[in-house]
Amino acid sequence: MTGDALDPDLFRRAVGRFPTGVAIVTTVADGTDHAMTVNAFSSVSLDPLLVLFCAEKVARFHDIVLGTGRWAVSVLTDEMRDASQWFATRGRMLDGQLEGWEHTRGPATGAAVFAGAAAALECRTRAVHDGGDHSIVVGEVLTVDLPDHPAAPLIYHEGGYRSLT
């Protein structure tokens, strides 16, 4: 199949065969925490230090994170599947959504950084690009937290979580 005849479900299954890591992007707006699970996260540049994530335009997180311009990324470990699933749940309550999830506040953004994450970065939005039904958000890295405890990453592949262990 080519062009307009492509089936979106077939496309989703095809790209689902590319294993990805999983992260949670967070921000704070008017004292309220906002968070979203992403698997479209990548490094972009070493000079300057840039990363990107993709946010679906219809997600409530989309406009909030674009409005704040500052956000944090927690790269999840295999032990953080429950957090990944919770922050991927559409329509969940905003008030208290971080209760029960151990976290600290990033010094540069004030956004939640999850305890036990494999790595965490705080960023300032540098550019936003149209990506169809998503926006590609490019961020300048402000801080990096790399814990000493190496842990197995949380992997998403073919519609489900996978482990390297």
Cβ–Cβ < 8 Å for 65, 55: yes
Tokens of 146: 């790399």
Per the structure, the complete domain to which residue 104 belongs is given by 26-157
pTM equals 0.93
CATH, residue 92? 2.30.110.10
Q: What's the pLDDT score for residue 5?
A: 77
Looking at residue 17, its pLDDT comes to 92
Closest listed residue to residue 129, CA positions, set 138, 117, 121, 120 = 138
Total domains, the chain: 1
Is residue 84 included in any domain, yes or no? yes
Coil, strand or helix: which one is 68? helix
Q: Residue 74 domain-assigned?
A: yes
**Residue-level pLDDT at 163:** 84
**Does the pLDDT of residue 1 top 70, yes or no?**
no
61: helix, strand or coil: helix
- Please tell me which residue, 165 or 132, carries the higher pLDDT value: 132
User: What band does 150 get if pLDDT is binned at 50, 70 and 90?
Assistant: confident
